[in-house]
């Protein structure tokens, strides 16, 4: 039995890298899905309080403020998601840290350019796909809230 030559090695390496980044991508998705709506909810509450506050001819009490807890938690979730993005980048090029892995990956029928760009695009896609998905969810929520007002 002879080995068949793969015609699209870029795609195979890209899919392998995407598969190896799947768990971190899910964590990034969950963090962004938490952070985006948390900021949205905080801003909605602030705007509703501000509307009630300034509806009175003579405002009484302190002016409404953003809830620092929601904002702080959303910022922390975003920072952790960025750190996960760094982990994705390190994971994509992790084969460079062991001699046996370097030998195996360099023996694959890929040029240096194909190997780099498949690793690079897999890393970008592993981080941006969850980010864009959470952005779409947050945008849909903002449209729903805007329609309720």
The pLDDT tens digits along the chain (149 residues) read: 455 555 678 888 888 888 988 999 999 999 998 888 888 888 877 877 777 777 777 766 666 666 777 788 888 999 999 999 999 988 888 888 888 888 887 787 888 888 888 889 999 999 999 999 998 988 888 888 777 66
- The whole-number pLDDT of residue 14 equals 87
Cα(149)–Cα(144) distance, rounded to whole angstroms?
9
Question: Left (φ > 0), alpha (ψ -120 to 50) or beta: where does 125 sit?
Answer: alpha
- The whole-number pLDDT of residue 141 equals 84
- The whole-number pLDDT of residue 30 equals 92
- The whole-number pLDDT of residue 73 equals 86
**C-alpha triplet 106, 112, 114: angle, nearest 5°:** 110
- The whole-number pLDDT of residue 44 equals 79
Global pTM reads 0.74
């Amino acid at each position: 039995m002879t080995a068949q030559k793969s015609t699209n090695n870029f795609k195979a390496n890209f899919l392998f890298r995407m598969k190896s980044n799947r768990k971190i991508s899910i964590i990034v998705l969950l963090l962004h899905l938490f952070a985006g709506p948390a900021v949205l909810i905080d801003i909605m509450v602030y705007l509703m309080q501000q509307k009630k506050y300034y509806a009175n001819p003579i405002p009484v009490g302190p002016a409404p403020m953003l809830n620092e807890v929601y904002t702080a938690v959303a910022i922390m979730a975003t920072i952790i998601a960025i750190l996960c993005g760094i982990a994705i980048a390190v994971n994509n090029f992790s084969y460079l840290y062991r001699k046996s892995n370097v030998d195996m990956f360099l023996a694959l029928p890929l040029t240096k350019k194909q190997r780099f760009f498949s690793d690079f695009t897999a890393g970008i896609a592993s981080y941006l796909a969850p980010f864009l998905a959470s952005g779409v969810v947050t945008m849909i929520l903002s449209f729903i809230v805007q329609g309720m007002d």
